[in-house]
Amino acid sequence: MNSQRSVRLFRNGRNQAVRIPREFELPGEEAIMRKEGDKLIIEPAEKKTNLLEWLATLEPIEEDFPEIPDPPPEPVDL
């Protein structure tokens, strides 16, 4: 695959836009764009992991936890 190709810039409302050729398409629906000097760099955005997916990747805790004293609260005079 050729890693360089000439593309056209155009206006989309008040924004400047570029059509990304098929061979340069990025996965997903979002990307990260940054500017380094005169260059624009576009990278795929990392897939966001929700909390349940992340928790499912953790190993179970095998440690026994000590008992914690939990005395009843002191009576309060109202």
| Domain ranges, ordered by start, for the chain | 9-56
Q: Let me know: does 33 contact 40? Beta carbons within 8 Å.
A: yes
> Alpha-carbon distance 19 to 36, whole Å?
20
C-alpha 38: how far from its chain's center? 26
- Within 8 A by CB and 6+ apart from 44, the residues are 26, 27, 28, 30, 31, 32
Residue pLDDT tens, the chain, 78 long:
568 889 999 999 999 999 999 999 999 889 999 999 999 999 999 888 789 988 999 999 888 889 999 999 999 988
Determine the pLDDT at residue 2. Answer: 64
Label the pairing between strands 9-12 and 15-18.
antiparallel
